[in-house]
Amino acid sequence: MESRGHLLTEQSNPNSQELDRLSSLELVDLFVQEDGRVLQAIATAREAIAQAIDRTAEALAGGGRLFYIGAGTSGRLGVLDAAECPPTFCTPPELVQGILAGGEAALVRSSEALEDRSEDGALALAEREVTAQDVVVGISAGGTTPYVQGAIAEARQRGATSIFIACVPVEQVPSQADLEIRLLVGPEVLAGSTRLKAGTVTKLVLNILSTSVMVKLGKVYGNRMVDVSVTNQKLRDRAIRTLVDLTELSRHEAESLLDRCQQRVKLALLVHWSGVGVEEGRSRLEAAGGQLRKALEGE
């Protein structure tokens, strides 16, 4: 077995050599200091992240899907981001999918041994019939996870756009992916525990990626969730408040409009601002590819 001690994510952090002797306040201060490196790592990778946003938005607009794939913490973060897209942006569950080594059971119980099988990563993509229209984001903090490497190789073979997210420099772990996002946050406070800074920076980048893609797909108007899925009282309240804030309607009028437009905020705004009927509004949105601004400008 080859040693992984040279990897940035496995090295010992000189700032936490006395970790087990620190007071609680000193521990908090140390974590604050170290986590400050997260935003700088994202800023350094900004161009690669922007390219990933553009490639992914283009693929999804053309009928493709976005897959996150990983093991352990990296895989769980992908599943989390994918799971939050349907309620936030009213996307179908199949549009953004998270694939975790070990499946659903691995969400709540450690299954790190399953990450060593590269063929399982390839099989996961084959089972989902990944095509050249799709985007596959492999997530591996240390970069060496066979499960993820197998998925990246399979994605390339299938012609899908492949994106690799890792927290080690390319010279330590090269990749064959189409795009690479290297998030160099340095050694962890607790040596090798990549659920810490590596996990935090990965979560932030996935937030940026998925949200920005949805913005480009017309799921947002201004900074409002105009495609929010109204599935509970909290989300219904948010939808009503969005209508009230963006129009001159009272809350009661906004509720009535929302109900008339089948709980679709974007449709309600178009109907209100354009003065068209619900069916006409739906047709205009469909013709505009779901882009509210485009539908309004096309009057």
What would the DSSP string read from start to end of 27-90? HHHHHHHHHHHHHHHHHHTHHHHHHHHHHHHHHHHTT--EEEEESHHHHHHHHHHHHHHHHHH-
DSSP-derived letter for residue 142 is S
Any catalytic annotation for residue 188?
Answer: no
186 near 201, Cβ under 8 Å? no
266 near 221, Cβ under 8 Å? yes
Report the candidate in 169, 171, 132, 174 with the shortest Cα–Cα distance to residue 154. Answer: 132
- Catalytic pick among 58, 84, 253, 255: 84
Using only the alpha carbons of the chain, give its radius of gyration. Answer: 22
| C-alpha pair distances (Å), 11 with each of 74, 142, 173 | 19, 11, 15
- Catalytic pick among 34, 115, 154, 188: 115
Angle at 76 between CA 66 and CA 99, to 5 degrees: 40
Residues 6+ apart with CB under 8 A from 160: 125, 130, 131, 132, 133, 134, 135, 136
Tokens linked to 125 = 């993509």
Any catalytic annotation for residue 119?
Answer: no
| Side chain identity, residue 267 | L
Tokens linked to 223 = 């900074």
Residues 6+ apart with CB under 8 A from 183: 41, 42, 45, 165, 166, 167, 198, 201, 202, 205
Tokens linked to 6 = 């040279």
Tokens linked to 77 = 């973060």
Looking at the annotation, which residues are catalytic? 84, 115
